[in-house]
C-alpha cells in the first residue's frame, strides 16, 4: 500500500510539473548591433534597452594591407583583403558575441565606406554563427530613428560595396604606381594620389596667379554731405558723366579742387525692395564653408566636432544625438523632421511660418540616400543645449540649427534707398538698407547677414539742396590679385568641379598639409617648394590623370557602379592599361631631382665640426649634419637674428604644447624669452630700427610686410619692398 501511495504522490507531482511547463517564459532573444564608433554604441544601447548588445567595430576591420599594393591584376583586379593590423582581437570578440546572439544587425554608416564595413563583417561573422545577419541604416541617432531601423532591417547593397571597392582599387593603383616614381625622382617617403594631386594642382595654379599678379594703384573719393543736423557720406560715382579712373593722388585732388565750392543738389532718390529667400539646409561642403568663414574652423575640425554632435552628447541622464549624419550632398528633409520644425515654428514664430513646407532641389549627382545636415529636434535650440556642449560644439550646432530652422521660414524683405547728389560735374552716390520684413532672419544670430542693414540716410527729395561739409576722404588702394585658396574656397571648388565626395573634402586638405605639400598661413593654403616640384612632375608626366576632368569623370562612373549600371572591373580595366604604360615611360624619361633641395650652409655642427646642410623633412626644412649617419645632429633653421639688445641668439620656429601651434622664439631660451606669433621674413630687416620684418594679413590690406618692433611704425609699401629686394 505504501508503495502504491508513493506512486500516486509521484503521479500528482508529475502532473503539477507538467501543468507548470507551458507557463514558463521562453528565453528572450539576444540581438547584437555593430556600429562604427564607441560613442555611437553607448548612445544606441541606451535607446534599445534589454535584449540588445551594441558593440563598435572601430571602422574597418578588414582592408587592404599598407605594405603592398595587394591588387591581383591578373584576377580581374580583385583586392587582397586582410585583417587590419591590431584588430584581430576585436574581430574575435565580435565573432564570439555573434555566436551567442540570435540576430546580428550591421549598423555601420549609411555611405559606401559603411556599406563595405558591413559587407566585410557579414563575411567573417557568418563563418562563426548561425544567427540571422541583417543590415540597418539610419540618418540620425534618436530613439525613434533607431527603433524604426531595427524594426525594418534589410540586406547589404552589393552595388554600393562595388562602388567602394572600385574607388579603393583605383586609388591603390594610382598611388602605389605614382609614389615610387616620386621616391626615385624627388625624395623618399613621398606620396601621390588620384584626388589629392588634383587638389594640389589647383592650389599650385592659384599660387602662380598670385605670384604673377602685378598690383596697380587706384584712388577713391568720398565726401560728407549734410541735411540739418544729419551728416552722411557718399562716394564719387561719375565725373563728367563717365566712371572716373583715378590713378594718382593728383587726379583726386584736381577733382576736389574743382568741386569743393559747388552747390550740392539731390538729383535722384530711389527706393527698391528686395526679397531675400532663406538658404537650403546644410550639405557637408556648405557646412564646412560656413564653419570656416564664420567660425574659423578647418575642414578637419568641422568634421570632428560634427561627428561628436552626431554620435551623441550627454544631456543630464540622457545621451542624445543632436544632428543628423554629417556626410551628405543632399538637402532633402524627411517628413517627420518637416512636421516637427513646422510645429515648433507655429508656436515660437507663427507669423514667419509659410502656409506650405519649402522644398529644395537636390543638386545634380547628389547621393539622395541621406537627408540634409539638420538638428534632430528643432526644439533643442542653441540656448537649450548650451550648458551641455563645449564652446566649439555649441558654435557648430548653432549654425546647423539656424540654417535648418530658417530654411522653413518666410522670405525676408529689405528696402534699399539710393541717393544721387550732384556737385559741379561730379556725381556722388550713397545708399542705405534696412529690413522691412524680418522673415527667416528672426532666428539667425551667428548666420545673420550684416549687409542687409547698412548705412543711415536722412529723408531726401529730388532737387533738394544740401549743405556741403567740405570734408573729403581720398583713399589710396591697390588692385588685389586672386585670393589664395582657404579651406572654405577649396572645398567649394572641389564640389563645383565634382572632385571627391562629402567624406573626402577634409581628408584631402589634411593629407596635403601632413605631407608638407601645402602650408596654412593666415587661413590661406600655400604650396611649398616641395609641393610645387611634385605638382610639376605629375602634371607634366600624367596630364590625363592629374586633371579635374578625369577626377570628376571617375566620380560619375563610381555613381554609375553604385546604381548597378556599370561593372566595376570593366571600369578599372579601361583605365589601367594606358596608365601603367605611361608609368613605364616616365620612369625611363623623367630626370631625377633627388638632392636638388639640399643646400650647403655656413653653419658648423657643434657636435662634430662638420658643415650643416639644409634639408627637407616631413615637417619642412631643417639643418642636418653632413656627417650623417655618423652624426645625427639636427637643428631648426634660423629665420632671423634675435632683436633683443645684447642677445646673439637666432629666431627659429617652435611648437607649443597641446594643440601644437607654431610660434617663433630665440635659440637662447630660457635666458632670452623673446617670442613672435608672426613668421619672420627670412633675412629681411627693418631699415628704421633693424628688427626683423614679418608678413601680416588682414581683410582690408591682404598680405603685407610689417616691422615686428611694437615701437616702430614701419610698414612696407610695394616700392619700398622692391628697393629692399634690389639692395
3-state secondary structure of 287: helix
Specify whether 621 is located in the same domain as 505: no
Specify whether 300 is located in the same domain as 342: yes
Cis peptide before 670 (omega within 30 of 0): yes
Q: Which of 72, 63, 167, 196 is nearest to 575 (CA)?
A: 167
Neighbour-count burial of 307, counting CB atoms closer than 10 A to its CB (0-12 exposed, 13-18 middle, 19+ buried)? middle
Q: Which of 398, 282, 285 is nearest to 332 (CA)?
A: 282
Specify whether 581 is located in the same domain as 611: no
Specify whether 206 is located in the same domain as 224: no
φ, ψ dihedrals at 588, nearest 5°: -85, -30
Q: Is 305 in contact with 392 (CB distance < 8 Å)? A: yes
Give the bridge partners for 561, in sequence order.
Answer: none
Q: Does some domain include residue 662?
A: yes
Q: Count how many Cα atoms sit within 13 Å of the Cα of residue 718 in the half-sphere of its side chain.
A: 12
Could you confirm whether 325 is annotated as catalytic? Answer: yes
Distance of CA 430 to the CA centre of its chain: 38
Domain with 419, as residue range(s), is 217-276+412-478
Rg value, the chain, Cα: 33
Specify whether 312 is located in the same domain as 402: yes
Point out the residues of the chain with pLDDT beneath 50: 1-21, 23, 25-26, 717-727
C-alpha span between 164 and 541 (Å, rounded)? 28
Buried b (16+ CB within 10 A) or exposed e, 363-389: eeebbebbbbbbbbbbebbbeebeebb
Q: Which residue has the cell 557637408?
A: 284
Q: How many domains does the chain have?
A: 5
Specify whether 318 is located in the same domain as 171: no
Give the bridge partners for 134, in sequence order.
Answer: 105
CATH label of the domain that carries residue 196 = 1.10.460.10
Q: Does some domain include residue 594?
A: no
**Where do the DSSP E strands lie in 356-425?**
412-423
Q: Give the pLDDT score at 369.
A: 60
Cell of 472: 573729403
CATH label of the domain that carries residue 225 = 2.70.20.10
Q: In 10 A of CB 143, how many CB atoms?
A: 15
Q: In 10 A of CB 234, how many CB atoms?
A: 22
Specify whether 625 is located in the same domain as 709: yes
C-alpha span between 285 and 396 (Å, rounded)? 14
SS3 for 473-491 is EEEEEECCCCCCCEHHHHH
Q: Does some domain include residue 98?
A: yes
Q: Which of 102, 90, 97, 96 is nearest to 130 (CA)?
A: 102
494: enclosing H helix or E strand: helix 487-496
Q: Does some domain include residue 25?
A: no
3-state secondary structure of 714: coil
Q: Is 319 in contact with 43 (CB distance < 8 Å)? A: yes
Specify whether 661 is located in the same domain as 622: yes
CATH label of the domain that carries residue 310 = 1.10.290.10
C-alpha span between 441 and 431 (Å, rounded)? 21
- Of 461, 478, 495, at which residue does a domain stop? 478
Give the bridge partners for 79, in sequence order.
Answer: 71
Cell of 96: 564570439
Specify whether 209 is located in the same domain as 221: no
Q: Give the pLDDT score at 724.
A: 34
Q: Give the pLDDT score at 370.
A: 73
Q: Does some domain include residue 205?
A: yes
Q: Give the pLDDT score at 2.
A: 44
Q: Helices 143-151 and 38-48 sit at what angle, rounded to 10 degrees?
A: 80
Q: Is 268 in contact with 420 (CB distance < 8 Å)? A: yes
Q: Does some domain include residue 395?
A: yes
3-state secondary structure of 655: strand
CATH label of the domain that carries residue 108 = 3.40.50.140
Q: Is 614 in contact with 607 (CB distance < 8 Å)? A: no
Q: Give the pLDDT score at 363.
A: 64
3-state secondary structure of 138: coil
Reported as a single tens digit per residue, the pLDDT across 302-326 is 999 999 999 999 998 888 999 999 9
Neighbour-count burial of 102, counting CB atoms closer than 10 A to its CB (0-12 exposed, 13-18 middle, 19+ buried)? middle
Q: Does some domain include residue 87?
A: yes
Q: Is 397 in contact with 385 (CB distance < 8 Å)? A: yes
Do strands 52-56 and 78-79 pair parallel, antiparallel, or not at all (unpaired)?
A: unpaired
Catalytic one among 52, 239, 282, 325?
325
Specify whether 421 is located in the same domain as 515: no
Q: Is 290 in contact with 489 (CB distance < 8 Å)? A: no
Q: Give the pLDDT score at 173.
A: 96
C-alpha span between 705 and 87 (Å, rounded)? 51
Q: Does some domain include residue 712?
A: yes
Specify whether 611 is located in the same domain as 556: no
- Of 462, 478, 494, at which residue does a domain stop? 478
Specify whether 271 is located in the same domain as 419: yes
Whole-angstrom distance between the N-terminal and C-terminal Cα of the chain?
A: 130
- Of 534, 554, 589, at which residue does a domain stop? 589
pTM for the whole thing? 0.80
Give the bridge partners for 651, in sequence order.
Answer: 640, 666
Q: Is 535 in contact with 201 (CB distance < 8 Å)? A: yes
Q: Is 488 in contact with 288 (CB distance < 8 Å)? A: yes
The answer for residues whose C-beta is within 8 angstroms of residue 183's C-beta and 6 or more apart is 189, 190
Amino acid at each position: 500500500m505504501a508503495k502504491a501511495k508513493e506512486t500516486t504522490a509521484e503521479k500528482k507531482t508529475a502532473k503539477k510539473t507538467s501543468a507548470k511547463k507551458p507557463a514558463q517564459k521562453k528565453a528572450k532573444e539576444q540581438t547584437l548591433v555593430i556600429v562604427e564608433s564607441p560613442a555611437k554604441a553607448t548612445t544606441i544601447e541606451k535607446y534599445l534597452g534589454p535584449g540588445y548588445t551594441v558593440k563598435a567595430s572601430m571602422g574597418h576591420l578588414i582592408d587592404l594591407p599598407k605594405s603592398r599594393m595587394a591588387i591581383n591584376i591578373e584576377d580581374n583586379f580583385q583586392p587582397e583583403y586582410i585583417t587590419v593590423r591590431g584588430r584581430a582581437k576585436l574581430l574575435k570578440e565580435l565573432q564570439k558575441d555573434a555566436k551567442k546572439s540570435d540576430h546580428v544587425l550591421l549598423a555601420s554608416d549609411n555611405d559606401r565606406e559603411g556599406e563595405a564595413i558591413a559587407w566585410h563583417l557579414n563575411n567573417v561573422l557568418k563563418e562563426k554563427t548561425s544567427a540571422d545577419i541583417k543590415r540597418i541604416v539610419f540618418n540620425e541617432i534618436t530613439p525613434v530613428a533607431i527603433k524604426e531601423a531595427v524594426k525594418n532591417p534589410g540586406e547589404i547593397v552589393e552595388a554600393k560595396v562595388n562602388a567602394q571597392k572600385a574607388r579603393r582599387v583605383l586609388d591603390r593603383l594610382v598611388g602605389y604606381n605614382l609614389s615610387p616614381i616620386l621616391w626615385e625622382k624627388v625624395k623618399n617617403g613621398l606620396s601621390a594620389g588620384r584626388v589629392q594631386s588634383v587638389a594640389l594642382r589647383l592650389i599650385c595654379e592659384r599660387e602662380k596667379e598670385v605670384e604673377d599678379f602685378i598690383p596697380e594703384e587706384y584712388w577713391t573719393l568720398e565726401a560728407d554731405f549734410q541735411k540739418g543736423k544729419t551728416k552722411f557720406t557718399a562716394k564719387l560715382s561719375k565725373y563728367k558723366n563717365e566712371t572716373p579712373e583715378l590713378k594718382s593722388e593728383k587726379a583726386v585732388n584736381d577733382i576736389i579742387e574743382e568741386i569743393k565750392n559747388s552747390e550740392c543738389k539731390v538729383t535722384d532718390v530711389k527706393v527698391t525692395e528686395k526679397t531675400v529667400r532663406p538658404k537650403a539646409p546644410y550639405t557637408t561642403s556648405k557646412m564646412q564653408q560656413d564653419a570656416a568663414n564664420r567660425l574659423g574652423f578647418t575642414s578637419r575640425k568641422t568634421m570632428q566636432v560634427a561627428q561628436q554632435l552626431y554620435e551623441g552628447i550627454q544631456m543630464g541622464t540622457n545621451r542624445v544625438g543632436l544632428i543628423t549624419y554629417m556626410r551628405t550632398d543632399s538637402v532633402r528633409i524627411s517628413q517627420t523632421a518637416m512636421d516637427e520644425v513646422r510645429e515648433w515654428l507655429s508656436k515660437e514664430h507663427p507669423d514667419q511660418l509659410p502656409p506650405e513646407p519649402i522644398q529644395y532641389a537636390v543638386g545634380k549627382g547628389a547621393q539622395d540616400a541621406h537627408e540634409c545636415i539638420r538638428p534632430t529636434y528643432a526644439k533643442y535650440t542653441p540656448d537649450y543645449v548650451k550648458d551641455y556642449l563645449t564652446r566649439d560644439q555649441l558654435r557648430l550646432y548653432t549654425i546647423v540649427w539656424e540654417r535648418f530652422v530658417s530654411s522653413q521660414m518666410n522670405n525676408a524683405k529689405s528696402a534699399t534707398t539710393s541717393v544721387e547728389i550732384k556737385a559741379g560735374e561730379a556725381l556722388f552716390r550713397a545708399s542705405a538698407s534696412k529690413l522691412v520684413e524680418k522673415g527667416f532672419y528672426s532666428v539667425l544670430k551667428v548666420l545673420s547677414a550684416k549687409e542687409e542693414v547698412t548705412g543711415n540716410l536722412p529723408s531726401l527729395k529730388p532737387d533738394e539742396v544740401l549743405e556741403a561739409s567740405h570734408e573729403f576722404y581720398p583713399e589710396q588702394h591697390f588692385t588685389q590679385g586672386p585670393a589664395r585658396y582657404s579651406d572654405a574656397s577649396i572645398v567649394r571648388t572641389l564640389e563645383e568641379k565634382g572632385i571627391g565626395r562629402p567624406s573626402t573634402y577634409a581628408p584631402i586638405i589634411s593629407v596635403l598639409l601632413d605631407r608638407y605639400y601645402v602650408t596654412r598661413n593666415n587661413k590661406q593654403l600655400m604650396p611649398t617648394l616641395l609641393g610645387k616640384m611634385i605638382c610639376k612632375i605629375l602634371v607634366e608626366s600624367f596630364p590625363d590623370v592629374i586633371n579635374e576632368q578625369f577626377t570628376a569623370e571617375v566620380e560619375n562612373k563610381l555613381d554609375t557602379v553604385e546604381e548597378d549600371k556599370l561593372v566595376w572591373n570593366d571600369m578599372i580595366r579601361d583605365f589601367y592599361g594606358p596608365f601603367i604604360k605611361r608609368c613605364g615611360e616616365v620612369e625611363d624619361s623623367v630626370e631625377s631631382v633627388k638632392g636638388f633641395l639640399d643646400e650647403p650652409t655656413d653653419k658648423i655642427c657643434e657636435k662634430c665640426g662638420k658643415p650643416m646642410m639644409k634639408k627637407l623633412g616631413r615637417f619642412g626644412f631643417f639643418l642636418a649634419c653632413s656627417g650623417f649617419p655618423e652624426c645625427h645632429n639636427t637643428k631648426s633653421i634660423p629665420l632671423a637674428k634675435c632683436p633683443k639688445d645684447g642677445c646673439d641668439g637666432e629666431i627659429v620656429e617652435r611648437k607649443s604644447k597641446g594643440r601644437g601651434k607654431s610660434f617663433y622664439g630665440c635659440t637662447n631660451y630660457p635666458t632670452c624669452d623673446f617670442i613672435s606669433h608672426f613668421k619672420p621674413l627670412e633675412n629681411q630687416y627693418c631699415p628704421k630700427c633693424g628688427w626683423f620684418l614679418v608678413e601680416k594679413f588682414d581683410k582690408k590690406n591682404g598680405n603685407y610686410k610689417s616691422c615686428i618692433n611694437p615701437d616702430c611704425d614701419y610698414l612696407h609699401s610695394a616700392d619700398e619692398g622692391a628697393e629692399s629686394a634690389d639692395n
